[in-house]
Amino acid sequence: MKLQLFHKSVQEKVHEKVKKNIEKLHHTLPNWERYLLMCCVPLYFMLISLTQQAPGEVLKGVENIIREPDILISDYFVVGGVGAAFFNAGCLAIISLGILCFTKSDFDGSCIVAACLMFGFSLFGKNLLNIWSILMGYVLYAKVHRVPIKKYLYIGFYGTTLSPIITQIMLTKTLPFHWQLILALLVGLIIGYVLVPISLHTKHAHMGYSLYNVGFSCGIIATIVTSLMKSFGAKIESRLLWDTGHRIFGFKVSASPMGVPFPSFPE
């Protein structure tokens, strides 16, 4: 009997030690440290940008990126240079991670996807100026409907895919510049405000068969906005700026949506 009790006590002690060791192995970093660690990726590309162009050229390139139209295809490698494109993308990725951390959003797969998409599409289309009105529109929606900002924050980030519309309105020459800014801000606020309810309802249209629910919603909004702009006489011309001058291991390289160099066979 005593021997059985002894064995039982030994087993309990062993189980406790094993449990503690498992807890140590599964110890996770605090939320803010995870975000800080994730920031190393865009920060790396920002540092790389300084090896591609001089700091002054990088800033000038970022200015060109902000001033130029963002209608597809506008490769920022061509518009501002490789360094400026990486710097712009890195800044937006860090900003998005900072907003997620500030709103105390859980660091999970959705966070990584949002940051990577912000980085990738900041190589063409998104810049340091044209994303804010849409995000402000989302914040306005959250405040009006009294929902936590972090609840649909990812939808707000995905909605910045419509940022080229903001740039296009700001570059419209049919109005005085201050009216262009006001109109661009107003359109961005409306887009950000209506994006959440549209995204929550479009899933009933495709019954879950689309992986890009917010993209589908943005497509609907873009169709409406573009049609309205054309009805008022705005000219929206397509562009074809695609960099083919950079090579890695003998392959030509251009920006891809996920921020990964896109190789093509040399001519």
Of the two residues 23 and 29, the one the predictor is more confident about is 29
Q: What angle do CA 122, 243, 259 make, to 5 degrees?
A: 35
State the pLDDT at residue 263. Answer: 44
Q: Which residue intervals of 171-245 are DSSP H helices?
A: 177-206, 213-231
Burial of 63 (0-12, 13-18, 19+ CB in 10 A): middle
Q: Band the pLDDT of 230: cuts 50, 70, 90.
A: confident
pLDDT exceeds 80 at position 13: no
Query: What ranges do the domains of the chain cover?
Result: 31-259
State the pLDDT at residue 92. Answer: 96
Q: SS3 for 124?
A: coil
State the pLDDT at residue 235. Answer: 78
State the pLDDT at residue 209. Answer: 67
pLDDT exceeds 60 at position 63: yes
The label of the residue with tokens 């019954």 reads 207
State the pLDDT at residue 251. Answer: 44
Q: What is the mean pLDDT of the segment spanning 51-63?
A: 93
State the pLDDT at residue 10. Answer: 63
Q: What is the mean pLDDT of the segment spanning 60-79?
A: 89
State the pLDDT at residue 20. Answer: 66
CA distance 6 to 10: 6
The chain-wide mean pLDDT, for the chain, equals: 83
In percent, the amount of the chain with pLDDT more than 90 equals 45
State the pLDDT at residue 147. Answer: 93
Is residue 124 a contact partner of residue 99, using CB atoms and an 8 Å limit?
no
Q: What is the pTM of this model?
A: 0.80
State the pLDDT at residue 21. Answer: 60
For β-strands 251-254 and 262-264, DSSP reports them as: antiparallel
Q: SS3 for 241?
A: strand
State the pLDDT at residue 127. Answer: 93
Distances (CA, A) of 139 to 65, 142, 159: 26, 5, 12
Of the two residues 100 and 216, the one the predictor is more confident about is 100
Q: Please name which of 49, 36, 42 lies closest in space to residue 119, comparing C-alpha atoms.
A: 42
pLDDT exceeds 50 at position 26: no
Tens-place pLDDT, residues 180-222: 899 999 999 999 999 999 988 887 777 766 667 788 889 899 9
Of the two residues 92 and 214, the one the predictor is more confident about is 92
State the pLDDT at residue 262. Answer: 46
State the pLDDT at residue 239. Answer: 80
Of the two residues 8 and 194, the one the predictor is more confident about is 194
